[in-house]
Structure 1
Amino acid sequence: MAMSSATSAASTGMSGMSGMGSMSMVFTTAHNTPLYSKAWTPTSTGAYAGTCIFLIVLAILSRLLQAWRHTLEQRFHDKAMKRRYVIVRGEQEGDQFPDESEATKEKAEQQAILTSRGIDEKVRVITAKSRSKESTPWRISTDLPRACVYTVQAGLGYLLMLAVMTLNVGYFLSVLAGLFVGELAIGRYASPVEDHH
């Protein structure tokens, strides 16, 4: 009795494995490969070409979004650097920059009046455009857009990955073509160390 149940369990397991064996594990050139759902299955050569064009556009959008995110990060960093200032107490204007040349012009640009609790104080505004890795305080005006852009960028990356995982040669080459065109057009604006999907 125990032997017959073990045999039936083994045959059930084998039939489940054979169902999995029907998945294609090699590249295919079929024009009826579904993309993202059974409803999106090209039924003609024109529909297949349209799907490939969609993937090219999606890949280009992925590169555009990466470049936009990089420029946003630069703006957020520069904005955070402009918020910094140092109060200079007890310094006279002449003490800060002794010679009256270009330094005087820079001094006028770097100084401001800070009013705090009714007291006017001269401050030296510190701005830097270096890309240092020090963290800035959490701000909803910066971190919420950053999170939204990153989420959309990750979603596009996963959609492209799923298209490549169909192992359809046309879809694969379309994704590569879109990434190539996107990099060619706006790659100089993206960070050189971003990871690719």
Structure 2
Amino acid sequence: MDHSSMDMDMSSSSSSSSDSSMSMTMIFFNAHNTPLYSTQWTPSSTGSYAGTCIFLIILSIIGRLLVAFKALMERHWLATHLNRRYVAIAGKSTEAGRIDGDPDAKTASLVTAQGVEESVKVVRSTSHQPLPFRFSVDLPRAFLFLCITGVSYLLMLAVMTMNVGYFCSVLGGAFLGELAVGRYIQWNEHGH
């Protein structure tokens, strides 16, 4: 056997073995020793498998809780922004005429630094434009989104193991979480 034919045999056998290892069949299975996230987390008994499934249920519930909490905080941040008081001193601004004609404006009085009482209108903003950048709002929003994304990816990795128990645990936790806090989550993408 010459050297070139030996190379061909080795390359064909290595390519066929790599093809078989590269093609992964996507079927669900029910094995109680499926690793989760690392080889260190491999259930070794039925009890540890059940514990892993319970962990996935709780993690899925936490994911729904985080989404509901973010929705509540978004409503709070929007209400805080809209309820910021815009005070205009009558006669001092070109907006005074517009404020006088606004039926939503409430009349109030303001004591200035000189101690003079001025007639003012307190107006609630009704703008539906994007909120301005505020570090006190945008940093917690970004952190909440980071947590939601991290939990979502962990749940996705659990489902991608193709283990039926892990899959059903994630679905069950999502159901329980939505049952508990789904009413707080409103998908109001169009501002209606």
Q: Which interval holds the TM-score relative to the shorter structure?
A: 0.7 to 0.9
| Residue 173 (1) aligns with residue 168 (2) | yes
Deviations 1:91-145 (A, max 9, x none): 69xx948xxxxx89x724xx46386999976543332578x3x212111100000
Using a 3 Å threshold, how does the CA distance of structure 1 residues 83 and 2 change in structure 2: closer, same or farther? Answer: farther
Amino acid in the other structure paired with 1:66: V
Deviations 1:146-189 (A, max 9, x none): 00000000000000111111111111111111011111111000
| Residue 188 (1) aligns with residue 187 (2) | no
| Residue 73 (1) aligns with residue 74 (2) | yes
Q: In the TM superposition, what is the alpha-carbon distance from 1:8 to its structure 2 partner?
A: 3.5
Amino acid in the other structure paired with 1:150: F
Separation (CA, whole Å) in 1 of partners of 2:150 and 2:40: 20
1:126 match: secondary structure: strand
Whether the aligned pair in 2 keeps the contact of 1:87 and 1:121 (CA below 8 Å) is no
Q: Which runs of 5+ in 2 are unaligned?
A: none
| Residue 126 (1) aligns with residue 123 (2) | yes
Q: What fraction of aligned residue pairs are identical, expressed as a percent? A: 47
Separation (CA, whole Å) in 2 of partners of 1:73 and 1:126: 22
Q: What's the TM-score once normalised by structure 1's chain length?
A: 0.77
| Residue 159 (1) aligns with residue 154 (2) | yes
Tell me which of the two structures has the higher relative contact order, counting C-alpha pairs closer than 8 angstroms and 6 or more residues apart.
1
How many correspondences in the alignment? Answer: 181
Using a 3 Å threshold, how does the CA distance of structure 1 residues 127 and 45 change in structure 2: closer, same or farther? Answer: same
Using a 3 Å threshold, how does the CA distance of structure 1 residues 50 and 112 change in structure 2: closer, same or farther? Answer: farther
Q: What's the TM-score once normalised by structure 2's chain length?
A: 0.79
Deviations 1:16-57 (A, max 9, x none): 122234x45200011111110101010100000000000000
| Residue 44 (1) aligns with residue 45 (2) | yes
Amino acid in the other structure paired with 1:157: S
Aligned Cα RMSD in Å? 3.2
Separation (CA, whole Å) in 2 of partners of 1:34 and 1:42: 7
Using a 3 Å threshold, how does the CA distance of structure 1 residues 118 and 27 change in structure 2: closer, same or farther? Answer: farther
Whether the aligned pair in 2 keeps the contact of 1:114 and 1:122 (CA below 8 Å) is no
